[in-house]
Structure 1
Amino acid sequence: MRQYFILFIFGLFLAFSSCRTDFDTVASSGNLKFSKDTVYLDTVFKNIGSSTYQLKVYNKSKNDISIPTVQLKKGLSSKYRMTVDGMSGNNGKIFNNVTLLAKDSLYIFIETTADITDADPTDFLYTDEIQFDSGANLQEVALVTLIQDAVFLYPKQNPDGTKEKIKIDGKDVDGFYLNENDPVNGNELIFTKQKPYVIYGYAGVPQNKTATFEAGARVFFHANSGLYVDNKASLQINGTTSATEKLENEVVFEGDRLESLYDDIPGQWKSVILSNGSTNHSINHLTLKNAITGLDIRSQDNTTIQIKNTQIYNCAEYGILAQNARINGENIVINYAGLTSLSCVYGGNYLFTHCTFNNNWSNSPQFAVNLSNSLAGATPETNPLTQATFNNCIIYGSNTNEFNLDKNTNAAFVYQLNNCLLKFSSSSTNPDYQFKTDAVHYNQIILNENPKYYDASNNKFNIDNTSSAFAKGNQDYIIPLDIIGATRTSPPDLGAYQSAVFPK
């Protein structure tokens, strides 16, 4: 008897299951709920695909429903495309009889690829709607994307189907040389603010030529891309002071992913390389972020590179890597580097005044500043460090020691810190780190006191009058204006920023 009872229950279960295979759905009644009423797809460049965005659709009723149509209002001509619960529908534009169970939800994933000509010419927005059902039951969710026009620079295709290449460090890499008489772009050696530039591969500055970046120029580098300045070529970055946080007059180098998710992700592109023998460089008001190495500076042609009012953030390896270079730096700010914010190796000659070298990278050991007069594998392995002087600077970060000296006694190693705030928390008997007693190398050092930045985690290094760096600078080294153009008072504050009310 017990066996018959079990078979009876099992039969009822099968009958119930078979009658539920079509879910007994009822027609949608226009009462769907949505995770948002407008889906904003972040800014994209023309004809470059966007990231994927999601919309969640809820059936709050007690009935399983069937939505007769889920479609883009512009139909098959829409520049948007969707998947609905994993289904591709008709070219990702139109879906029929979409089932949604009671008290359940489904996901819609949305992408777009559009040209500037598809956008509204007054605001460059491309829009559409997702329509659910029709007539009295019609519900809509808006889609909005800002399309940016841009100048695209990339390696050409060779007749044999391979990509154009240039040599960097003896290796062929995907790249091209900028052309001052390009039939499409005109003079590619002059970067203006009229349109942003998107670079694929390495853009090379040819020998005996100069690449000039005018105030307000915006350059976006694709993955594995960068800028390469060849032997006897020059780089001139001519940004100026901006009045707002939009940095409207800065020259900006960053990756080409415009979604907010990528704002602070390191390593999205490679580097700006100033090669051996390149010459007469000047960098002013540059903001560079999210590279592997920001500025990779090699031995210069007996000229000193001027770097002023420059910010470098979120680099996977180095903010500035200088090898036997000559640099005069003023009002530089560097933060978040996977290895070192400023690394001067294989000797050279360096003078930094009113700079903030910080490293808040979460792992250790990273440094804010590293100095070395050697380089493994070089011939010879040592090279004289003839000067490394830091005046009115801050050298700080999240690790115990943010200052490192890698000294080889086979070559000169000349360094001096004057009126600097320095983080070096561990005690050391090494004679190179006697900050209070070694007057040859250290003068007026503030050791291990918090500079009280406004918000270092978000790269805001402004200070106010409660900072340990307030009014601790030496007037003899003063740079009259700080990194944002504020007038320095006497005695000046340490670092790149003159103290003021914190930004809002």
Structure 2
Amino acid sequence: MMSKALPSLAFIIVITVLFFSCKKNDLITSHDASVYFSTDSLKFDTVFTSVGSVTHSFKIFNNNDGRLKLDRVKLMGGSTSAYRTNINGAATDELQDVEIDAKDSIYVFVTVTIDPNAAQIPFIVSDSILVEYNGNNKYVQLEAFGKNARFLRAETLSQNTTFDNSLPYVILDGLRVDTGVSLTILPGTELYFHANSPLIVDGTLDAEGTVSNRVLFTGDRLDEYYRDLPGSWPGIFFRGSSEGNHLQFCNIINAYQGIVASGASSSSLPKVRIDQCEIRNIYDAGIYLLATSADISNTLVANCGSNVLIKQGGVYSFTHCTFASYSTFNMFRTEPVVSVYNYNDGDGIRMTGDLNATFTNCIICFMETVVSN
């Protein structure tokens, strides 16, 4: 009887093995098929001082129970990109009909070649790799340092620091000055901020340029379209614990908000002093002051959504300043040039504060446009 059962058992085992083998060999065509990357971005953080290259890689995983065909894997910049790709062993910028077995993966190697002294090279060299399958499009972002500079990523300064003008600074993912810490910026220093990279000051900022060597704060996109584009970086924010800030002979350009200061100063000095500065091409408020104090003189605030916005009171002095606003192809003013309020409506609650604001020998000029009241 045992001898009769053995062939039957063997038959069941063979059928089971064949069933699962066939299932693993089936090609999955469902839109819901899952593809995973070992990373969603490759960041090449090598700073080049001469022509050089570096290679990183990532894996594409097929975690499904059947084979999956990638319709194409493509370097979006193609042959003009600074990047080169090797996709599953093929040195090409596009590979089609790439099959990955169930529970398997393939490698994509990415090499970037940088000439930091090339005339047109940006600070950040970006591209992406498209992975297209079953009607889905997924991307891996590529980011490399281009022009020779000091690159700071998500940096918090926890001790007194000085920035000099020997190389530009490129800020990625924000720069914060900690409470009780001073950042001193010397004349002629240039700071370039990546998108979504604010300068947050909880301590003290002392940026003092000269007539011939101004300090520059602007976005890191230098190509022609972005050169005068408002909103390319968030701006400079002086928060509650910040005090004793001084900006002189500084240019603040192309931010979403130029300077934002909030909270009373803990000393007899204003929270921020601004002299001989230029704030222009700002998408929202050039200077936004909320229940704080500021002394601003000999400063130009030009082409902003709202040049000066004061809310919830505070103590302010503006002397020999010019507030000019003219609509351009990329800036359309919809708010008053200067707005001064002793209240702030936030989250349905009106907050008020004592207001003392003086404007001495200041010029306000603008082109007629649509202004919301």
Q: TM-score range by the shorter chain?
A: 0.5 to 0.7
Which stretch of structure 1 is more off in the superposition, 392-401 or 233-242? Answer: 392-401
- Structure 1 residues 113 and 332, CA gap change in structure 2 (3 angstroms): farther
Q: How far is the alpha carbon of 1:114 from its aligned partner?
A: 4.1
* 1:219 partnered with 2:191: yes
* 1:374 partnered with 2:304: no
Aligned twin of 1:195: 167
Aligned twin of 1:289: 253
Aligned twin of 1:237: 207
Identity percentage of aligned residues: 29
Q: Which amino acid aligns with 2:343?
A: S
Q: What is the SS of the residue equivalent to 1:317?
A: strand
Q: Which amino acid aligns with 2:227?
A: D
Q: What is the SS of the residue equivalent to 1:261?
A: helix
Q: Which amino acid aligns with 1:376?
A: D
- Structure 1 residues 375 and 235, CA gap change in structure 2 (3 angstroms): same
Rounded to whole Å, the distance in 2 between the matches of 1:256 and 1:331 is 27
* 1:301 partnered with 2:266: yes
Describe how 1:376-391 pairs up with structure 2 within 5 A: 376-377=345-346, 381-385=351-355, 387-391=356-360
Which runs of structure 1 show a deviation greater than 4 angstroms over 4 or more consecutive aligned residues? 78-82
Rounded to whole Å, the distance in 2 between the matches of 1:341 and 1:114 is 42
Rounded to whole Å, the distance in 2 between the matches of 1:269 and 1:113 is 26
- Structure 1 residues 196 and 113, CA gap change in structure 2 (3 angstroms): farther
Rounded to whole Å, the distance in 2 between the matches of 1:228 and 1:343 is 19
Is the 1:241–1:250 contact (alpha carbons within 8 Å) kept by the matching residues of 2?
yes
- Structure 1 residues 375 and 150, CA gap change in structure 2 (3 angstroms): same
Aligned twin of 2:215: 251
- How many residues are paired up? 247
Aligned twin of 2:147: 148
Is the 2:83–2:113 contact (alpha carbons within 8 Å) kept by the matching residues of 1?
no
Q: How far is the alpha carbon of 1:224 from its aligned partner?
A: 0.4
Rounded to whole Å, the distance in 1 between the matches of 2:333 and 2:214 is 32
Q: What is the SS of the residue equivalent to 2:340?
A: strand
Rounded to whole Å, the distance in 1 between the matches of 2:83 and 2:181 is 45
Q: What is the SS of the residue equivalent to 2:210?
A: coil
Aligned twin of 1:125: 118
Is the 2:274–2:296 contact (alpha carbons within 8 Å) kept by the matching residues of 1?
yes
- Structure 1 residues 81 and 293, CA gap change in structure 2 (3 angstroms): same
Q: Which amino acid aligns with 1:152?
A: F
Q: What does the per-residue CA deviation read over 1:358-408, in whole Å, with 9 as the maximum and x for residues that have no partner?
A: 1223545322111010011387611110x2111111111113699x9x9xx
Rounded to whole Å, the distance in 2 between the matches of 1:251 and 1:359 is 23
Q: How far is the alpha carbon of 1:335 from its aligned partner?
A: 1.2
Pick aligned residue for 1:337 from 298, 304, 319: 304
Aligned twin of 1:395: 364
Q: Which amino acid aligns with 1:235?
A: L
Rounded to whole Å, the distance in 2 between the matches of 1:81 and 1:211 is 36
Judging by fraction of residues, say which structure has more strand. 2
Q: What does the per-residue CA deviation read over 1:39-95, in whole Å, with 9 as the maximum and x for residues that have no partner?
A: xxxxxx967xxxxxxxxxxxxxxxxxxxxxxxxxxxx9x98469xxxxxx96469xx
Q: What is the SS of the residue equivalent to 2:256?
A: strand
Is the 1:364–1:399 contact (alpha carbons within 8 Å) kept by the matching residues of 2?
no
Q: Which amino acid aligns with 2:307?
A: S
5+ unaligned residues in a row in structure 2: which ranges? 1-45, 49-78, 85-89, 95-110, 121-145
- Structure 1 residues 311 and 256, CA gap change in structure 2 (3 angstroms): same
Rounded to whole Å, the distance in 2 between the matches of 1:290 and 1:273 is 15
Greater RCO between the two (CA within 8 Å, min separation 6)? 2
Rounded to whole Å, the distance in 2 between the matches of 1:114 and 1:307 is 42
Rounded to whole Å, the distance in 2 between the matches of 1:395 and 1:126 is 39
Rounded to whole Å, the distance in 1 between the matches of 2:254 and 2:166 is 23
Q: What is the SS of the residue equivalent to 2:344?
A: coil
5+ unaligned residues in a row in structure 1: which ranges? 1-44, 48-75, 83-88, 94-111, 128-146, 156-175, 181-186, 243-248, 407-504
Rounded to whole Å, the distance in 2 between the matches of 1:364 and 1:259 is 24
RMSD (Å), alpha carbons: 3.2
Aligned twin of 2:37: none
Is the 1:367–1:401 contact (alpha carbons within 8 Å) kept by the matching residues of 2?
no
Rounded to whole Å, the distance in 2 between the matches of 1:80 and 1:205 is 34
